[in-house]
C-alpha cells in the first residue's frame, strides 16, 4: 500500500527516488526504504513522507 500511495502522489519515478534518497529526521535520519527495511510500519513512513513534503491532509 505504501508504494501505491507514493506513486499516486509523486509519480512512479519520483516516488522511488524519494523513498530511496530522501532522509527523514522523523524516521531517525533514515530514508523511507531504510525505515521500512528496519521494520517501521508503512503507515508511519507514509505519514512522515506526507509531513516532509506537505501533502494535504485529504490525500494522506
Query: Does residue 27 lie within any of the structural domains?
Result: yes
How many domains are there within the chain?
A: 1
Q: Which residues of 16-47 are buried (b: 16+ CB within 10 A; e: fewer)?
A: eebbeeeebeebeebbbebbbeeebebeebbe
Query: Does residue 60 lie within any of the structural domains?
Result: no
pLDDT at 28: 97
Q: Which domain holds residue 24?
A: 1-53
Query: Does residue 59 lie within any of the structural domains?
Result: no
pLDDT at 5: 98
pLDDT at 22: 98
Per-residue tens of pLDDT for the chain, all 60 residues: 999 999 999 999 999 999 999 999 999 999 999 999 999 999 999 999 999 999 999 999
**Three-state SS for 24?**
strand
Amino acid at each position: 500500500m505504501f508504494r501505491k500511495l507514493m506513486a499516486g502522489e509523486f509519480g512512479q519515478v519520483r516516488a522511488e527516488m524519494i523513498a530511496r534518497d530522501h532522509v527523514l529526521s522523523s524516521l531517525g535520519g533514515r530514508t523511507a526504504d531504510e525505515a521500512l527495511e528496519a521494520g517501521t510500519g508503512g503507515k508511519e513512513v507514509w505519514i512522515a513522507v506526507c509531513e516532509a513534503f506537505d501533502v494535504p491532509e485529504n490525500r494522506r
